[in-house]
Amino acid sequence: MTHWAMWKCFIAVYALFSATAASKAPYSTKSSILPWVDVDTPENAHTHKSSRGQTWSLVMSDEFNQEGRTFEAGADHLWTAIEKPDGVNAALEIYSINMTST
């Protein structure tokens, strides 16, 4: 392996670990990945039997029950609020980050 190839590998690994270490979210799982199914979702809602007899598993839920939660970029592991004017039909609405919280 050439010196340049080793240096590129070092940069890639350093960037990966730096991004992981810089995360501000408190992790509640052993894998350091926050759950996609809210821990407050009732257990009986984790599966559903379809009309054809198939059992479906819940892959994502959010109960929105944590006070003071914000949805700015990087603040939440599931959602990101955006700043976006609604330009359809000369509408007067605007989607704004300051309008999203719990």
Residue 95 covered by a domain: yes
What pTM does this model have? 0.49
The predicted-structure confidence for 55-96, as pLDDT tens digits, reads as follows 999 888 888 888 888 888 888 888 888 887 777 777 777 777
Residue 92 belongs to domain spanning: 69-102
Which DSSP string corresponds to 22-75? T--SPP-STTS---SB-TTS-GGGSEEE-TTSPEEEP--B----STT-B-STTT
Residue 53 covered by a domain: no
Q: Is the predicted pLDDT of residue 54 greater than 60, yes or no?
A: yes
- What distance, in Å, lies between the first and last C-alpha atoms of the chain? 52
Residue 28 covered by a domain: no
Quote the number of domains for the chain: 1
User: What pLDDT band is residue 52 in, cutting at 50, 70 and 90?
Assistant: very high
Q: What is the mean pLDDT of the chain?
A: 72
- In the prediction, which pLDDT does 97 show? 80
